[in-house]
Amino acid sequence: MSIMSNYNEASSNYSMFYKFKQSIRRYYEVAKINFKVQLIWRFDVVVNMVFTIVKILFAYILWKAIFGENKIVSGFTFNSMLSYYIISSFLAGIDMSKSTSEEICNRVKLGTFSKYMIIPINVQNYFIAKNFGMTCFYFVFNMISAFVWIFIFKIDFAFTSNPVQILISILMIFLGFIFMMKLHFFIGILSFKFLEISFFRMIIENIVEFITGTMIPLVLLPETIVTVMKVFPFYYTTYLPSMLLIGRNSNEAIQGLIILALWVLFFSVVNKVMYKRMRTLFDGVGI
């Protein structure tokens, strides 16, 4: 009996491992396909790169005027401020999460979302893999944009030499991308009930751009507002990783990882429940 029990347990473990391996392989293929698809949209890639460069150029002109003869503004030197904008603009440029809500909304309106309801794959994880493939592609080209700024304009780029801080920043950026994808998945599935949510998405995207610190460093806001923002995940998706990478706010690193991880877990559960309920409202082509 003992031998048989051990055999069954080993067989069960192998079966679980095999299913996990197959699942990872499927998501890898989704990511790889969407990486290659971006090669078709060359104009979009160029626009994305130009937009990143223009944002940094605007920041350069604006903060050059603000600094004037001052060497320090809100704890930033001119070079550290530009370094912050280069990093935050780079992160914003490779975040493709809003394409998730856009695609879901469009497919629900057209009645073609049914293709995702019949494939043998977790829909939420499918979009994570898809976004990961797109992000990897844009990572390369936005990195080029960042290096253009650093070398051509001879910026004394501020970057931390602390390996722990760099590692935590990378983990936080990764969690931040997952959170943003889950947020946009949540926004997307609202279209099952409210069909036309384009205006709502536009408002959310503009608010998110501000509260993630992409427009201005959040340290410039009143301290009370910043304290409240630390409860929410947006503080940790772009702003804090950028600050950590320029050697600041190291005391918030571990706290940031924990809070962001909890929000990712929260939206994972909410999205699963919401998708299960909302999909019953869908009346699309092929259903």
Residue 128: per-residue pLDDT: 92
pLDDT at 262 over 70: yes
- Tell me if 53 is assigned to some domain: yes
Domain check: are 135 and 255 in the same one?
yes
Mean pLDDT of 189-209: 85
Q: Is the distance from CB of 57 to CB of 96 less than 8 angstroms?
A: no
- Tell me if 77 is assigned to some domain: yes
Domain check: are 132 and 247 in the same one?
yes
The domain in which residue 31 lies consists of 1-37
pLDDT tens digits, residue range 104-161? 988 888 888 888 888 778 889 999 999 999 898 888 888 887 787 777 777 788 889 9
Measure the CA–CA gap between 71 and 36, rounded to whole angstroms. Answer: 45
Q: What is the mean pLDDT of the chain?
A: 85
- Tell me if 286 is assigned to some domain: no
- Amino acid in the structure at residue 89: S
The segment with the largest mean pLDDT, out of 30-34, 55-59, 115-119, 169-173, is: 169-173
Domain check: are 136 and 28 in the same one?
no
- Tell me if 243 is assigned to some domain: yes
Three-state DSSP class for residue 282: coil
pLDDT tens digits, residue range 69-89? 888 888 898 889 989 988 998
Domain check: are 199 and 239 in the same one?
yes
Residue 249: per-residue pLDDT: 92
- Tell me if 50 is assigned to some domain: yes
Residue 286: per-residue pLDDT: 46
Residue 285: per-residue pLDDT: 46
Measure the CA–CA gap between 235 and 221, rounded to whole angstroms. Answer: 12
Domain check: are 85 and 203 in the same one?
yes
Domain check: are 66 and 21 in the same one?
no
Number of domains in the chain: 2
In eight-state DSSP terms, residue 95 is -
Residue 218: per-residue pLDDT: 93
pLDDT at 205 over 90: no
- Tell me if 287 is assigned to some domain: no
Domain check: are 19 and 118 in the same one?
no
- For the purposes of burial, counting CB atoms within 10 Å of the CB of 77, is it exposed (0-12), middle (13-18) or buried (19 or more)? middle
Tokens of 43: 């104009």
In sequence order, what are the residues at sequence separation of 6 or more whose Cβ sits closer than 8 angstroms to the Cβ of residue 36?
none
Domain check: are 82 and 196 in the same one?
yes
- Tell me if 70 is assigned to some domain: yes
pTM of the model as a whole: 0.86
Domain check: are 33 and 136 in the same one?
no
Q: Which residues of 243-260 are buried (b: 16+ CB within 10 A; e: fewer)?
A: bbbbebbeebbeebbebb
- Tell me if 256 is assigned to some domain: yes
Domain check: are 21 and 69 in the same one?
no
Domain check: are 13 and 48 in the same one?
no
Three-state DSSP class for residue 222: coil
Residue 3: per-residue pLDDT: 55
Domain check: are 32 and 52 in the same one?
no
Mean pLDDT of 248-254: 93
